[in-house]
Structure 1
Amino acid sequence: MTTERYDQLAIFAAVAQERSFTRAAAKLGMSQPALSRAMRQLEERLGVRLLSRTTRSVAPTEAGEHLLRVVAPRFEEIDNEMAMLSEFRDKPAGTLRITAGEHSAITILQSVLARLLPDHPDLNIEIIVDYGFTDIVAEGFDAGVRLGPQVAKDMIAMRIGPDMRMAVVGSPAYFGRYPKPVIPDDLTAHNCINLRMPTHGGLYIWEFEKNGQELKVRVEGQLVFNTIAMRLEAALQGLGLAYMPEDLVQDAVAQGRLIRVLEDWCEPFSGYHLYYPSRRQSSPAFTLLREALRYEG
């Protein structure tokens, strides 16, 4: 059915219920000639008279009464649903879809959601863990979380975490068999635990920086994983060196379960940012989540 026919049915329902072209025109914000013309077109299209008109009153015919019983409840239902939508403007509700890397999902998103969700039962969050550079618009996400340098320039980005550092770690048992690397290039002689990147299927290249000098080292080893937990556990078991976010290994280093090397080559870099496609009016749900994630450090 065309939009014009829907409009004509809505006009008919208003006239039939108000029993007046004047009151219906005022209710709909239309002129009486335009309203009369729409009714005439509807009757001509259906081939049946819907309204009995006199100089003093308007009343639905038998056919009009039948049509009114059919369409009036539908329009009332639509009006009610439209009214309910206004609640979404006023309170956080609905589902938000976020794409994030595993580390940010564990260390930032989970802690914020643990504080947020109990007080907002109508809010649902779906987090998809992905190391790739997701097109959030094409994939239907409300926002994504990535490191600052990885956020596309056409996105709005907001910092949600502090600067980060990486750490190269191995177990005491591992270093009982191999010498400690002194410079990043020494890693080529070590058994390194690799990370498989899903976007292009390649292995993550370990990145280092010292005094403005940047180095990228393509390491090799017996193990390749695509999760943080398995890389960390393999390092703890002495199966190789791991390149991990500093915050995930600092307790094990403090306890002596892991030994950190090349610390002077692991300088801080910009931390995680929430990114989304525009500054247009946000839903209360997204605004709530965005402000809860905002980093004030």
Structure 2
Amino acid sequence: MSISFEGRVAIVTGAGGGLGRAYALELAKRGAKVVVNDLGASRDGSGHSDAALKVVEEIEAMGGEAMPNGGSVSEYDQMAEMVARAKERWGGVHVLINNAGILRDKSFTKMDPADFEMVVRVHLIGSAFATKACWDTMREQNYGRILMTASSSGLFGNFGQANYGAAKLGVAGLAKTLYLEGAKNNIRVNSLAPVAATRMTEDIFPEEAFKLFNPESVVPAALFLVSEDAPTNAIIGAGGGGYHSAWVTMNKGVLLPPDDQSVEGFAAHWNRITDRTDDFVPRSGPEQAQVIIGQLQAAMKG
């Protein structure tokens, strides 16, 4: 089976280097016309460069089609303009990979509120802005593939990354609603938690690990998740040749009778409330209430 992106127009944000560059190059190799978006900023979001143009030149040198874009994902008007230019040149937008991001790591006690806000704005608000700019076009086409970049820091936590973790779990939550809203128009939305040796992680990984976790090892997961046969509502981890799934689960828990619905009653049943034996993956938020309603109905029937 060969996975092709012929006839597709793809936007990759933060594509001037690292993972974004690797995604853009492989999309172009597989026939996509690619918008290479990158503000050209440093890891903390400051400054500018011509990183996007360099990646476009790489794509053109191998016979592909691409255009650079220096818009900031944190500015909706710039994202809307980016999409308009892609449509004007190529007629549509079929794939969006939300990859742009910055880091401003500090323990929460030392973190400036402005650094918390900026990281959330770039990762979470930026992903929402880029997606919103593409959304109506994808609905009109009855086709769209969107990838959010989540993180283990958001899914599971990481010391010193309260801002980043909050944004990354927020991105996964955004995907979980958009997959529902996009389903009738063949818009599939997934999340990827990558582990890669990039500018963002160069002083985090030991040198040997840095060599193993090259961006190219994440590309197979990312491109499958935006391909024509992509799933939807998946959370995938990838890095170093390892690939896995993650889920947001809940259990059936316990229904406490009215005379036991107290703080003490809750505490007494903690082990049953947290028992994972009957974990399942809800397809949408309302299933939480549906479980409780089902238990109440069963109790009323005796």
TM-score bucket (shorter structure): under 0.3
**TM-score when scaled to structure 2?**
0.23
Larger RCO, structures 1/2 (Cα 8 Å, 6+ apart) = 1
In proportion to residue count, which structure has more strand?
1
Bigger radius of gyration among the two: 1
